Structure 1
């Protein structure tokens, strides 16, 4: 039995970056032997074992053969005769197909280290195309390593395009698509994930509502970058540079989806895009099986982001209505998330980096001031039921009126 460190841990060690996790491959063994050594078996498709002490994952060396469509259409062989080279050959990219033995020696049958040095993302073999999920995985690696100068090899990009145009992306398990997209949103340059998918004609299948934003013009005065798709990705990257909150990142990405529905004869104006986008999102969230909280924030940001932009001009009652629609007094963190996504919308415009966006802090201040108005004093006055809430609203409107006087 031989044990090798494999995949991302080897790659990241050579890159000199922090390793997210460590995976191991066991060659020349079988499940009963590992169980006898105290390893705990997990995984239904093929044996993966947790080390009895470190709890790191150890997988038996295996080969995979395409026998059907989609992500699960594979026959897996984990016989003890499977070699390390055979196991590495089934991996996606050359930079992920390296191993290190117990003496620290590098095993690199597909020249992954050379591609690492050249900053190239290159597929290992033609078998790459057997798993359509790899289109999303490569896009995600492009987002992770874009800041280090990585690019996708030309032949790999052609292969990704062929896979996207084959129609097999429609067979992907929805939950796995969301997992890849969620991870991509928190990579260093999340926009690159969507740019790659757009470039290889996969975005129209994975996220058609985002895909149709590209080429849709906006008023140059407010959007010097003009293209709505470009703006959405610029906003996303600004949000990522200021937060790793998945809910904020998804909401930022989706804030202008309604502009994809604007009638051609009124462009570049997009009056009413807020409601159009917000009305789209429940259906998108259901289809793509987004978790509840990210979906709810995305809908709120789409519906109300322009109210935040015009906050200084709003009446106190309108500001209170916005806070209540955000559920600010039960979920105070939601206000900060919303305000950050709105700031990302503002700063995701060419040349707007030099300007200030005070609305973010002003909205948070409004929420805090209104939250300080409590029910107890009104109960002490003898009010009951709806009268308490009405009195609290009046008091909050007065608080907001006083706040607004300080903004002038």
Structure 2
């Protein structure tokens, strides 16, 4: 029995990055031998075991064979004769196809170490094209490692385009698309994820609402970048800088301007009412990808109300109160934070605005605090009952908001 550390742990170790998860491959073993050694079986499709103490995953070396379309169209074969090189061959990228033996020796049959040195994301073999999830994974890895200088190899990009042309990605299930997208939105450069999907042609298939934004002009005095698609990329990266690792803010950034693709051509480059026009495509993308309810809700709120946030210092107290109520922010202050981070990213995600101040954020936080400090007790003591208490509280909350000093 030979045991190898594989995949992301080896890759990140070589990159000098923290190792979060450690996965192992076992060569020359049977399921019976693993159970006898104290491992616990957990794999359904192929033999995977948990270590009795560390709880880390140990998988028997295996090969795979394409049997049908999509992510599930594979048959796996695992027995003691499968080598570590054969196991590595089924992996997606060369940087993920490096193994380290227990004695520290590296097994690198596909040049992954060299690709780490040249900062290249390259597919292991043409079998890459058999699994459409890998296209999303490459785009996600590109979003993670772009700050380190990584780029996608041209032959890999060509293969990704072929996967789109051949219709392989049409067989991706929504859950897998969302799982990879959610991870990508939490990466340091989520704009690269969108850009890689667009360059491969996959954005048009998987996110047509986002793809439609490219080429849509905006007023240059407000958006020096002009192109709405470029603006979305900039907002995504601004969101990642403001809220590192927060995919919820990232999803709001991705979808906040979908309505601009629906602006009538005769009014361009103005986008009057784009917030309202964007609500339906936000709902469509959320439903199609089966995103969590909180993601769908907050994306719609940011789409509908981001201009109100930008104009917060000019709004009436009653309008601010309605905004807070729509967000549910009086009971859930974290929703206001998500909303403000997305709106701040929108402000900074445009040419020359990278470090633009956003005093609206602290003002709206203060308004929320002032409104939430109003309680029903004084009105109950006055003898008010039922709806009368609620009406009195709304007036008191609006008055409290009016007393907040504007910056």
Shift of 1:12: 0.9
| C-alpha contact 1:135 1:164 (8 A) present in aligned 2 | no
What do residues 355-375 of structure 1 show as CA deviations (whole Å, max 9, x unaligned)? 321111111111011000011
1:132 touches 1:168 (CA, 8 Å); kept in 2?
yes
Give the aligned partner of residue 147 of structure 1.
147
Q: Which residue of 1 aligns with 2:134?
A: 134
Counterpart CA distance in 2 for 1:354 and 1:27 is 53
1: CA distance, partners of 2:181 / 2:361: 27
1:324 alignment counterpart: 325
The answer on 1:380 being equivalent to 2:367 is no
Question: Aligned residue for 1:221?
Answer: 221
After the TM superposition, which residues 243-392 of structure 1 pair with which residues of structure 2 at under 5 Å, given as runs? 243=243, 244-392=245-393
2:356 & 2:28 partners in 1: Cα distance? 62
| 2:406 corresponding residue in structure 1 | 407
CA-CA distance at 1:37 after TM superposition = 1.6
- CA offset at residue 283 of structure 1? 2.3
Deviation at 1:197, TM superposition (A): 0.4
Q: Distance in 2 between matches of 1:53 and 1:306?
A: 53
SS at match of 2:58: strand
Distance, in Å, in 1 between the alignment partners of 2:205 and 2:355 is 36
C-alpha RMSD over aligned residues: 1.0
Work out whether residues 328 and 335 of structure 2, in 8 Å CA contact, stay in contact via their aligned partners in 1.
yes
Q: Provide the rounded CA distance (Å) in 1 between the counterparts of 2:141 and 2:15.
A: 14
Aligned positions of 1:104-253 closer than 5 A = 104-243=104-243, 244-253=245-254
Cα pair 1:5 1:24 within 8 Å, conserved: yes
* Separation (CA, whole Å) in 1 of partners of 2:154 and 2:147: 19
CA distance in 2, matches of 1:365, 1:194: 35
Contact 1:62 1:78 in 2 (8 A): yes
Q: Which residue of 2 aligns with 1:2?
A: 2
Question: What is the DSSP-based 3-state SS (H/G/I as helix, E as strand, rest coil) of the residue aligned with 2:64?
Answer: strand
Structure 1 residue 282 displacement after superposition:
2.1
Separation in structure 2 between the aligned mates of residue 112 and residue 401 of structure 1, nearest angstrom: 61
Whether contact under 8 Å (1:64, 1:74) holds in the other structure is yes
TM-score, with structure 1 as normaliser: 0.98
Question: What is the distance in 2 between the residues matched to 1:247 and 1:123?
Answer: 30
Partner Cα distance (1:15, 1:355) in 2: 33
Native 8 Å contact 2:259 2:276 kept in 1 = yes
- For the 8 Å contact 1:165–1:202, the answer to whether it is kept is no
C-alpha separation in 2, matches of 1:83 and 1:311? 63
Shift of 1:354: 4.6
Deviation track 1:269-297 (CA, whole Å, cap 9, x = no partner) reads 11111011122222221110100111110
How many Å separate the matches in 2 of 1:84 and 1:336? 48
The question of whether the paired residues in 2 share the 8 Å contact of 1:51 and 1:57 is answered with yes
Instruction: Report whether the alignment pairs 1:86 with 2:89.
Output: no
The equivalent of 2:21 in structure 1 is: 21
Q: 5+ residue gaps in structure 2?
A: none
Separation in structure 1 between the aligned mates of residue 51 and residue 263 of structure 2, nearest angstrom: 55
Is 1:66–2:66 an aligned residue pair? yes
TM-score by length of 2: 0.98
Distance 2:104 2:287 in 1: 47
